[in-house]
C-alpha cells in the first residue's frame, strides 16, 4: 500500500522572537533558520516516518533541488515531483515567539503551477485502496481528487489554509475531511451543515490542547484527548497529525487507535524546533504512548 501526497513543497525561513510583532512594529529575531516545509512535504514526511511508503506529487522551481534532496533523505519518494523552469519554489516566512506560537506568510510559487498530466500519470501507478493525501496549498485539487477517486484511492483532504470555495469544490471527491476547530466552525456557518451532515464519509476535527474528534455519519463521535507537553514550536503540528493519521489508517489501525497515534506524534513534534525535520519516527511515538496513561479514545 502507498500514500500519494499531492501537496506543497516549501523552503521555510524561521525567525525566532521573544514575541510576535504588533502591526507596524519591528522586533529583532534571536535566531534565523532555513528548512524544508510546506503542508504537502510536512504531511508526507510525517506519514513516511510513521512507517508508510509515501510518493510525493507536486512541483518545485529552479531553486528546489535542496528541498527535494532533504525530502528524499527523510524517506519520501520524490521521483514524480515536477521541476518547473522559470518558477520559484514555494516558500514561507515563519515567526515563532518564546511560547512556541507562530505567524506565517506563504508565497505559493511552483505549488500553484502544477502539471496535471504529470500528476495524473503518477496516480496511474496506484493500486486499489491506496491513499491520496491532499492539502489546500496547491492548484488542481478538485481535478486530482476526482481522478484519484475514479482510480479507487481513498482521498484524505486537509483543508488548510482554509478557503471556503476550495473546500466546497473538493468535497464531492473526498472520503475524509480534516479541519481544526476554527475551520470546522467556519465551514458549518457557511454551509449550514454540522460535521456529521457533510457529504463526506468522515470528518476529523483537531482541537489543539482539547484533543481531536472523529465524526462519521451514523456512528458515535470518537474523542481523542491531547497529551500535555511543553511546546517549543507549534509549526506543523496539524500536518504531523494528518500525516500520521493517514499512515496509521493505511496500516489498518481502527479509528480510535489511529487518532491516538496521531495525537502522540503531534505532541512529540511540538517539543522540537522545525517542521518536516521535527516529525517523529514510529518507534519514538510508540515509546511516547507506552509511557503515558492517557485514556483511550472514547465516544
User: Global pTM?
Assistant: 0.91
Q: What is the pLDDT of residues 87-120, one digit of tens each?
A: 999 998 999 999 888 898 989 999 999 999 999 9
Would you list the domain boundaries of the chain?
3-8+39-60+114-290
Q: What is the pLDDT of residues 172-227, one digit of tens each?
A: 999 999 999 999 999 999 999 999 999 999 999 999 889 999 999 888 999 999 99
Report the percentage of the chain scoring pLDDT > 90: 87
Residue 166, number of CB atoms within 10 A of its CB: 18
What are 170's three cell numbers? 473538493
Q: What is the pLDDT of residues 126-157, one digit of tens each?
A: 999 999 999 999 999 999 999 999 999 999 99
Of the listed ranges 15-29, 65-79, 90-104, 139-153, the one predicted with least confidence: 90-104
CATH of 3-8+39-60+114-290, one of 3.40.50.2300, 3.40.1190.20, 3.30.413.10, 3.50.30.30: 3.40.1190.20
Mean pLDDT of the chain: 94
- Choose, from 77, 130, 233, 239, the residue flagged as catalytic: 239
Tell me the three state secondary structure of residue 70: helix
Strands 131-134 and 102-107: unpaired
Is 254 assigned a catalytic role?
Answer: no
Q: Closest by alpha carbon to 136, among 158, 104, 114, 155?
A: 158
Q: Closest by alpha carbon to 48, among 212, 238, 248, 236?
A: 248
Q: How far apart are CA 35 and CA 67, in angstroms?
A: 8
Classify the phi-psi angles of 236: left when phi > 0, otherwise alpha if psi is within -120 to 50, otherwise beta.
left
Amino acid at each position: 500500500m502507498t500514500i500519494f501526497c499531492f501537496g506543497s513543497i516549501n523552503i521555510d525561513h524561521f525567525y525566532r522572537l521573544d514575541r510576535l510583532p504588533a502591526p507596524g512594529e519591528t522586533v529583532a529575531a534571536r535566531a534565523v533558520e532555513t528548512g524544508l516545509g510546506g503542508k504537502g512535504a510536512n504531511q508526507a514526511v510525517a506519514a513516511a516516518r510513521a512507517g508508510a511508503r509515501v510518493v510525493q506529487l507536486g512541483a518545485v522551481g529552479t531553486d528546489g533541488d535542496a528541498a527535494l534532496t532533504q525530502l528524499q533523505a527523510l524517506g519520501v519518494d520524490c521521483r514524480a515531483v515536477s521541476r518547473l523552469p522559470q518558477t520559484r519554489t514555494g516558500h514561507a516566512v515563519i515567526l515563532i515567539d518564546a511560547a512556541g506560537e507562530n505567524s506565517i506568510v506563504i508565497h505559493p510559487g511552483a505549488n500553484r503551477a502544477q502539471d496535471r498530466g504529470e500528476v495524473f500519470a503518477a496516480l496511474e501507478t496506484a493500486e486499489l485502496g491506496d491513499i491520496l493525501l491532499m492539502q489546500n496549498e496547491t492548484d488542481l485539487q478538485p481535478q486530482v481528487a476526482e481522478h484519484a477517486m475514479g482510480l479507487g484511492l481513498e482521498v484524505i483532504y486537509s483543508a488548510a489554509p482554509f478557503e471556503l470555495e476550495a473546500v466546497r469544490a473538493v468535497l464531492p471527491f473526498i472520503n475524509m475531511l480534516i479541519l481544526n476547530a476554527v475551520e470546522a466552525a467556519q465551514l458549518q456557518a457557511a454551509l449550514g451543515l454540522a460535521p456529521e451532515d457533510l457529504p463526506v464519509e468522515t470528518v476529523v476535527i483537531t482541537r489543539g490542547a482539547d484533543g481531536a474528534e472523529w465524526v462519521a455519519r451514523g456512528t458515535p463521535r470518537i474523542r481523542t484527548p491531547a497529551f500535555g507537553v511543553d511546546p517549543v514550536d507549534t509549526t506543523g503540528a496539524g500536518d504531523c497529525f494528518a500525516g500520521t493519521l493517514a499512515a496509521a489508517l493505511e496500516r489498518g489501525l481502527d479509528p480510535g487507535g489511529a487518532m491516538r497515534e496521531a495525537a502522540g506524534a503531534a505532541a512529540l513534534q511540538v517539543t522540537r524546533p522545525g517542521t518536516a525535520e521535527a516529525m517523529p519516527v514510529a518507534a519514538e511515538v510508540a515509546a511516547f504512548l507506552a509511557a503515558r496513561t492517557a485514556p483511550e479514545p472514547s465516544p
